[in-house]
Amino acid sequence: MNNKKIPATAGVSIEHVDFRYGSTPILADVSLEIRRGEFFAFLGPSGSGKTTLLRLVAGFGTPNAGRIRVGDRDITHVPPWQRNVGMVFQSYALWPHMTVAENVAFGLEQRRIARAEIGKRVQDALDLVGLGGLAQRRPAQLSGGQQQRVALARTLVIEPEVLLLDEPLSNLDANLRVEMRAELLALQRKTGLTTIYVTHDQEEANATSDRIAVLDQGRIQQIGRPVDLYDRPANRFVATFLGVANVIDGAITAEPGGAVFRAAGDVAIVLDGAPAAGPASIAFRPQSVALQRGAAAAAAAGSRLAGTVAVREFLGAIMRYTVKVGDNRVLIDEPHQRDHVPAEIGAVVAVHLDVGQITLLRG
């Protein structure tokens, strides 16, 4: 395993899976395909069903409907110890009375692997996660990041087809989380192991994943690359859960100059293309909006709107404004530069919105 790709890796198919606790539905008609060697994230708020879905892949529960396949094998009713998937738990679940080496060897001993083979595979796994010199320490003698790597080594040593990670960084401080997520991704790229990562942290999912499934209330809201989900959200939930978004409710009308989005408070935005008339919302990111101050702040047609600065927040790299535009409040992020003079609270400003950055939301 040392410096070699793990050959036994497989894709995962989840097909029309339903799951409930008693009469309470947890997952509803969930279907997705995870490609072999992909780093895939289940992302959603608490109660969205993401951890339940991961545990079904691991075998800690059986769907009420649907099936789960690893490669060509249907594992829906296969017990966990026969699935050849490895799971790293949020708590790491290390045995405190065992050394690092003994913790890593535990799964191999349960599989009755020969002693000489266990020693070699344990050392290879510890070398892979950068802990080759700490084999005789106990968990209490390790940092949080080192304990997480032991949990990873213990899972990798059994050479699973799929690696499952249940919020493995949640117990670490902010700086270590950033460091460890980079290490996790580098390890996954080195091994080529199909990896499913559960998190509620959008930044973590965006930074590590090839693709993301966004879940809410037991249903998949959208699946795609992080940048595609961010730039082209399928609905209001995805737009607001993945980063900060402005959402304005209104309607599209067909007018001589083209399709116009209108909202309460004299908001009128000329749209690109010819979207159908009817109720709609628009979503756009704070960095897609620009401010103009002073005499240039008079309202005009198109994507230029008059507003008043209601709140100003200095966030280091950006100055974030909340601007009252009619009956709506629009967040605007302006890059901060030294000695730049910010807009004052109460100032009348013009809000310029790049219509190419607008996402139309229906329903």
pLDDT tens-digit series, residues 3-24: 444 446 889 999 999 999 988 9
DSSP string over 3-19 = TS--S----EEEEEEEE
Among residues of the chain, what percentage have pLDDT more than 90? 53
The CA-to-CA distance between both ends of the chain, in Å, stands at 51
Q: 145: pLDDT confidence band, cut at 50, 70 and 90?
A: confident
What CA–CA distance (Å, rounded) separates 284 from 233? 10
In contact, 253 and 259? CB cutoff 8 Å: yes
* Average of per-residue pLDDT across 218-237: 96
What CA–CA distance (Å, rounded) separates 51 from 240? 21
Asked whether residue 300 carries a pLDDT value surpassing 90, the answer given is: no
Asked whether residue 91 carries a pLDDT value surpassing 50, the answer given is: yes
Burial label, 264 (beta-carbon count in 10 A; 0-12, 13-18, 19+):
exposed
**Unique residue bearing structure tokens 């974030």:** 320
Closest CA to 240 of 222, 252, 260: 222
pLDDT value of position 183: 83
Report residue 241 as tokens. Answer: 């859960």
pLDDT value of position 226: 96
Asked whether residue 358 carries a pLDDT value surpassing 50, the answer given is: yes
pLDDT value of position 312: 96
Asked whether residue 294 carries a pLDDT value surpassing 70, the answer given is: no
Which of 100-114, 225-239, 243-257, 295-309 is the most confident on average?
225-239
Reported pTM: 0.86
pLDDT value of position 304: 66
pLDDT value of position 5: 42
Report residue 322 as tokens. Answer: 């909340």
Asked whether residue 297 carries a pLDDT value surpassing 70, the answer given is: no
Closest CA to 226 of 248, 203, 258: 203
* Average of per-residue pLDDT across 37-41: 96
Asked whether residue 253 carries a pLDDT value surpassing 90, the answer given is: yes
* Average of per-residue pLDDT across 66-91: 92
More confident residue, 74 or 340: 74
pLDDT value of position 88: 87
pLDDT value of position 2: 42
More confident residue, 297 or 267: 267
Among residues of the chain, what percentage have pLDDT more than 70? 94
Angle between helices 144-156 and 115-128 in degrees, nearest 10: 130
What is the CB neighbour count within 10 angstroms for residue 309? Answer: 20
DSSP, collapsed to helix, strand or coil, labels residue 31 as: strand
